[in-house]
Amino acid sequence: MRTNDAVKAAVRALGVETASWAYANSGTRFKVFGQPGVPRDPYEKIDDAAVVNRLTGGAPTVSLHIPWDKVDDYASLAAHAKEQGVRIGAINSNVFQDDDYKLGSVTNPDPAVRRKAIDHLLECVDIMDATGSADLKLWFSDGTNYPGQDSIRARQDRLAEALAETYQRLGEGQRMLLEYKLFEPAFYTTDVPDWGTSYAHCMELGEKAQVVIDTGHHAPGTNIEFIVAFLLRAAKLGGFDFNSRFYADDDLMVGAADPFQLFRILHEIVSAGAHEPAARIAFMLDQCHNIEPKIPAIIRSVMNVQEALAKALLVDDDTLAKAQADGDVLGANAALMDAYNTDVRPLLAELRADHGLDPDPIGAYHRSGYFETITAARADGVQAGWGA
């Protein structure tokens, strides 16, 4: 069983990556509710991410989404991040918001559209080179709405070709993370609908290609921790897009809808030693804060991941292994539940204090005056929104 000091050290070593778009205005397709103080450009998104990192001590990187975070000089954006004490994390491609992509991007029946989509993916690798990012995160909205609309097999061939060309462009130390999603916006077939499809393409591509699990992208009832365990065993788990959901791709704060699921996922991670930085699992957030204030919501999300990790680290491995070997079903289950039911908040408050941080990051944010400052400073200009 780990000591409290070992738990604290492991939580301290965890970096949760926040998403640039979560700092911007976002909403559902019905309404985007604007909020005061929202960043006007990628530089200001990074400023906000840096505040989350300073207060939690655990969010050192921020993912970009291209072209939402388009700037003239990506090296200067990376330098700005460095000055603020953070780094640019994954570069997310976006081949889903252009009229040309109505029938798909890399799987479009028109070769000219496929070329345009692949060129965007290659441009994202150029951006990785300029920012020092190691991960290219790919999500394709590609699919069909009606039976017969296109050949499912031909679309898989086109997908494989596009992925192969992009994979070839990756440099030393760079990875391709292929995200899947069951449906939406395509409603009949989706070209990368599940982990199995993503896994099969990643296997074909090679070791730099790995699967990313967005926790909101499954059919209800899917056992996500099983997927985690399977992919870890195959060395094909690249990372997570964490969020939580009640119905579909709700993008609510991670750990809000089902904290027990988050614990079960992190138990699989910890039992494989994959929480350690050397394992290179990217623990990213992919969330939209439609009605709640953004920075405190992101702080809460980072804390929820830290709490779930601390609980997973508290599982008594020896007791669990013995109960499993003895076929002691109730004993094994109790070993997990004892850890899950431990209140780790005092331990994490202590960890923050150990490192000179306020034990209460959300309270510290409210007391800091940052919200009042950005509300005044960003009153002019156009606030960044989901999609810009």
Task: Name the residues that contact ligand LRH, by CB under 6 A.
Answer: 92, 139, 179, 181, 214, 241, 249, 286
Q: Around 15, how many Cα atoms within 13 Å sit in the side-chain half-sphere?
A: 20
* Residue nearer to ligand LRH on the CB measure, 100 or 249: 249
* Residue nearer to ligand LRH on the CB measure, 53 or 92: 92
Using the rule CB under 5 A, which residue among 41, 69, 268, 286 binds Mn ion? Answer: 286
Rounded Cα distance, 59 and 86, in Å: 8
* Residue nearer to ligand LRH on the CB measure, 249 or 316: 249
Question: Closest residue (Cβ) to Mn ion?
Answer: 241
Contact call for residues 13 and 274 (beta carbons, < 8 A): no
Q: Note the maximum CA span of the chain.
A: 66
CB of 137 to Mn ion, least distance (A): 8
Backbone angles phi, psi at 138, to 5 degrees: -110, 125
CB of 178 to ligand LRH, least distance (A): 11
| Closest residue by Cα to residue 351 from 86, 50, 59, 57 | 57
* Residue nearer to Mn ion on the CB measure, 44 or 241: 241
* Tokens coding 27: 């909403």
CB of 39 to Mn ion, least distance (A): 20
* Residue nearer to ligand LRH on the CB measure, 17 or 214: 214
Cα distances (Å, whole numbers) of residue 77 to 86, 122, 124, 342: 11, 19, 15, 41
* Residue nearer to Mn ion on the CB measure, 66 or 374: 66
17 sits near Mn ion (criterion: CB under 5 A): no
Question: Closest residue (Cβ) to ligand LRH?
Answer: 139
CB of 251 to ligand LRH, least distance (A): 7
Q: Around 272, how many Cα atoms within 13 Å sit in the side-chain half-sphere?
A: 22
Residue 32, C-beta contacts closer than 8 angstroms, at least 6 positions apart: 25, 26, 290, 385, 386
Rounded CA Rg of the chain: 21
CB of 62 to Mn ion, least distance (A): 15
135 sits near Mn ion (criterion: CB under 5 A): no
Length of the chain in terms of residues written: 388
249 sits near Mn ion (criterion: CB under 5 A): yes
Binding mask 205-234 for Mn ion (x = CB under 5 A): ---------x--------------------
**The entry of ligand LRH, Mn ion, none that residue 48 binds, CB within 5 to 8 Å by partner kind:** none
CA 341, distance to chain mean position in Å, is 26
SS3 call for 244: strand
**The entry of Mn ion, ligand LRH, none that residue 92 binds, CB within 5 to 8 Å by partner kind:** ligand LRH
Backbone angles phi, psi at 193, to 5 degrees: -90, -20
| Closest residue by Cα to residue 12 from 353, 342, 368, 271 | 353
Place of tokens 């941080």: 357
CB of 5 to Mn ion, least distance (A): 35
* Residue nearer to ligand LRH on the CB measure, 181 or 201: 181
CB of 104 to Mn ion, least distance (A): 18
SS3 call for 268: helix
CB of 368 to ligand LRH, least distance (A): 28
Q: What does the binding site for Mn ion look like in residue numbers (CB under 5 A)?
A: 214, 241, 249, 286
